[in-house]
Amino acid sequence: MSKDRYRIIMVEGPLLPKILLFSLPLMASSLIQLLFNAADIVVVGQYAGSQSLAAVSSTSSLINLIVNIFIGLSIGTNVVAARHIGANEQHELYKTVHTAMMISIVGGLLLTIFGVFASKQLLEWMATPNDVIDLAATYLRIYFLGITASLIYNYGASILRAKGDTKRPLYYLILSGIVNVVLNLILVIVFHMNVAGVAIATVVSQIISAVLIFICLMNEKEGMKLIPREIAFYGDKFKDILKIGLPAGIQGSIFSISNVMIQASINSFGSIVMAGNGAAANIEGFVYVSMNAFYQTCLTFTSQNYGAGSWKRILKTLLLCQVCVILTGIILGMSAWYFGDILISIYSKDADVIQAGITRMAYICKTYFLCGMMDVMVGSLRGLGYSFFPMIVSLVGACGLRVVWLATVFQTQKTIDSIYISYPISWLVTVLAHIITFLFIIHEVKPKLKKIKEKA
């Protein structure tokens, strides 16, 4: 047994307690991150005005679209590192850690150059209003100056998660988040720096979390230990990370495009529906990230047990994570819908806006567990090393089906309900497709696991 108090031994012992021990801090991290992001919006909205609020709010989809590829590669890092931990391959783990850090640094610098010079043009292509575009461009340029730190934190957190450590990334996130909120208040209220103040606060908090996780990795042992002067690209590890992470990143980016198309259709119903939809979507975000913790858990536990050649634990991990995500989705989703009027009233007191939000939640929240099931299936498949197939299935099932729905069903029934019902339908179709994919690849996976077991 390891003496590392932050490590979770995923390849032996009872699974459910370890799954919960891993997933709950991960869930807390995501929820806290959402709360801190909401604080950014509240501060700029309350103390800098509606134009500044619109400027900051309008950049999130663009940031996600640009950054998702590299966030996808951090998923690849998690899978590859966990597999080597499960197989106790310390030298291969060492190469993975140093390759991942090189990807985060080089990728961050490239994104900084692109973001600083292309922000204004990208915002113009998005038809950003003239009274908002300069503020939005200022926010984006400053934000991208700190993107390297953000990637270092994300890749470092992926490496720590690979060994079961979800606690220290949570601690670092809490500390940096508090600094972010305090700086927001000082820079926006005291120094009247508007969106630039919010962006600077975000960058400073990202640097703090990056430094903390970098130091943490430098103090690790064996293959996990980061030695700054030895950060480099190892071709075989870079290839392994790309194989898993690139499809995940592409999937995330294309999801962002499809969401923009759906948002455009929702916008056609006017500002009341837009406001209700936005408030409901924000509330649903808390349910989603709670379920997503079990996707990350399934991904990591599956990867470690693949490295150990344990098929029974892989299958049991999938089943337990599905039970957990279904219960989480049903309990939180139904609670969000039941208390929807109270929750949406935090965002707006307008009765029409509240009703518009509840309309969305009646379709999304009641069936959100299907989205969680879909993600957990993807986590299992990626943990087994199959990232391309789930990407194709998710893009065709979740994205493609919705786009086709907008072009066909929505054109014959132009109601907001006809848009919202496409979500649970696409989730159900995609879950079934992932299950079929999983059953199909079992025959290919089992012989590989048997060889790994025999070699061990």
Q: Do 237 and 279 fall within a single domain?
A: no
The pLDDT, as a whole number, for residue 2 is 46
Contact, 212 vs 179, CB < 8 A?
no
Q: Do 302 and 444 fall within a single domain?
A: yes
The pLDDT, as a whole number, for residue 67 is 84
The pLDDT, as a whole number, for residue 34 is 82
Q: Which residue type, as a one-letter code, is found at position 331?
A: I
Ranges under pLDDT 50 in the chain: 1-2
Q: Do 223 and 302 fall within a single domain?
A: no
Kindly state whether residue 174 falls inside one of the protein's structural domains. yes
Q: Do 393 and 327 fall within a single domain?
A: yes
The pLDDT, as a whole number, for residue 308 is 92
Q: Do 308 and 210 fall within a single domain?
A: no
Q: Do 208 and 286 fall within a single domain?
A: no
Q: What is the mean pLDDT of the chain?
A: 90
Kindly state whether residue 255 falls inside one of the protein's structural domains. no
The pLDDT, as a whole number, for residue 3 is 63
Domain end, chosen from 193, 211, 245, is at 245
Kindly state whether residue 252 falls inside one of the protein's structural domains. no
Count of structural domains within the chain? 2
The pLDDT, as a whole number, for residue 105 is 97
* Residue 186, C-beta contacts closer than 8 angstroms, at least 6 positions apart: 197
Q: Do 230 and 340 fall within a single domain?
A: no
Report the share of the chain in percent with pLDDT over 90.
69
The pLDDT, as a whole number, for residue 57 is 65
Q: Do 25 and 104 fall within a single domain?
A: yes
Q: Do 396 and 319 fall within a single domain?
A: yes
Kindly state whether residue 6 falls inside one of the protein's structural domains. no
Q: Do 116 and 199 fall within a single domain?
A: yes
Q: Do 299 and 417 fall within a single domain?
A: yes
Kindly state whether residue 279 falls inside one of the protein's structural domains. yes
Kindly state whether residue 311 falls inside one of the protein's structural domains. yes
Q: Which residue range(s) make up the domain with 143?
A: 21-245
The pLDDT, as a whole number, for residue 379 is 95
Q: Do 214 and 336 fall within a single domain?
A: no
Q: What is the pLDDT of residues 101-156, one digit of tens each?
A: 999 999 999 999 999 999 999 888 776 778 888 998 999 999 999 999 999 999 99
Kindly state whether residue 1 falls inside one of the protein's structural domains. no
